Amino acid sequence: MSDERIRILKMVEEKKITADEGAKLLAAIEAPDQGAQNGRAHWLKVRVFDKGSEKPKVRVTVPISLLKIAGKLGGKFHMMMPEQARAKMEAKGVRLDAESFEDIEELFDQFAVNGQYKMVDVEDDESGERVEVYVE
């Protein structure tokens, strides 16, 4: 059994996540990297390129389902935050309640509709390094 599977099962056992969330995480790590399926995106990808290179020097691929679950877990931390800290954050426009994380889930669903969507494409003028962030 892989370390990732064991960590997920321990989180379920310790009641840090629900069984349903654990099942989604397990499905996400077991899913083959096939990119867009059925017109839906399944991955958030970050690629970092050296100046003039077409081959990325850094590749990060994260299942969107994992990000959605992380967002839901973040909403649960809202309940443990001291009221004074929560009030200060909300005064600055930062909400960490379950509703705000549902908005994030909707955002990823909208990005995913076309199968691939480039969210960020940044190039450093001095070093020539380029970073791409997209869903696929």
- Model pLDDT for residues 77-101, shown as the tens digit of each residue: 666 667 887 788 778 776 666 555 5
Rounded CA separation 77/91 (Å): 18
> 47 and 1, same structural domain?
no
Closest to 28 in 3D by CA, of 83, 68, 74: 68
> 106 and 56, same structural domain?
yes
- The pLDDT score that the predictor gives to residue 89 is 74
Residues 83, 86, 90, 96: is their CA dihedral positive or negative? negative
- The pLDDT score that the predictor gives to residue 36 is 42
Which segments in the chain show pLDDT lower than 70? Answer: 1, 30-41, 71-81, 94-115
| Token pair for 108 | 């990823």
> 69 and 4, same structural domain?
no
**pTM of structure:** 0.51
Contact 96, 81 (CB under 8 A): yes
Cβ contacts of 134 within 8 Å, gap of 6 or more? 44, 45, 116, 117, 118, 119, 120
Question: What is the domain extent for residue 17?
Answer: 1-30
> 51 and 110, same structural domain?
yes
> 49 and 21, same structural domain?
no
